[in-house]
């Protein structure tokens, strides 16, 4: 009987490690780095969580790509055309300017935009995250193709 009790205790102790809840990813309110803000932003685009996307865009955002310069509404319309299935971010560099953060990185996405496949080549991106009353918001963003 004693062996059975010891076996049950060992089983319970070892199984407790596997049933512990997984730690949640840091959300917007817990983010502290430029890389985290970029990943949260692209996670929101991928999940089509437009409420979070819009909440983290400045009312005066300027977004630039080789084809156009866009204001807030145009940026939102552009982002809603994404069907992002996966993405990766690399070569991340961040600089701080007071409470603001400037992030530059290479972005590779999988999926489509407006029904067309995303480019195979990485894109060079830069965002400026600005401290606002409601938290960090993207104030500027650029996208450039790589050669």
pLDDT in tens, the chain (147 residues): 555 544 445 444 454 445 555 555 668 777 778 999 999 999 999 999 999 999 999 999 999 999 899 999 999 999 999 999 999 999 999 999 898 999 999 999 999 999 999 988 999 999 999 999 989 999 999 999 987
pTM: 0.80
Q: What is the DSSP string of 48-94?
A: T-HHHHHHTEEEEEEEEETTEEE-HHHHHHHHTTEEEEEEEEEEEEE
Domain limits, the chain: 32-145
pLDDT of residue 71: 97
Integer CA distances (angstroms), 125 to 13, 21, 22, 31, 54, in order: 48, 35, 32, 20, 19
Counts for the chain of helices (H) and strands (E), in that order: 4, 7
pLDDT of residue 147: 77
pLDDT of residue 11: 45
32-145 CATH, one of 3.10.450.50, 3.20.20.70, 3.55.40.20, 3.30.559.10:
3.10.450.50
pLDDT of residue 103: 97
Rounded CA-CA distance 44/38 in Å is: 10
Contact in structure between 56 and 41 (CB atoms under 8 Å): yes
Contact in structure between 142 and 64 (CB atoms under 8 Å): yes
**Both structure tokens of 65:** 């790509």
Contacts of 44 (CB under 8 A, 6+ apart): 50, 52, 53, 56
């Amino acid at each position: 009987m004693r062996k059975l009790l010891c076996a049950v205790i060992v089983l319970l102790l070892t199984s407790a490690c596997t049933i512990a809840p997984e730690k949640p990813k840091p959300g917007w309110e817990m983010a502290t780095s430029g890389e985290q803000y970029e990943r949260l932003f692209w996670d929101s685009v991928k999940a089509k969580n437009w409420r979070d996307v819009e909440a983290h865009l400045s009312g005066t955002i300027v977004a630039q790509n080789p084809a156009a310069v866009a204001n807030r509404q145009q940026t939102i319309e552009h982002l809603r055309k994404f069907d992002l299935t996966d993405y990766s971010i690399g070569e991340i560099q961040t600089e701080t300017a007071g409470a603001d953060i400037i992030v530059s990185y290479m972005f590779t996405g999988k999926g489509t935009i407006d029904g067309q496949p995303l480019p195979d080549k990485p894109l060079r991106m830069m965002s400026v995250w600005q401290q606002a009353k409601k938290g960090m918001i993207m104030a500027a963003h650029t996208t450039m193709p790589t050669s």
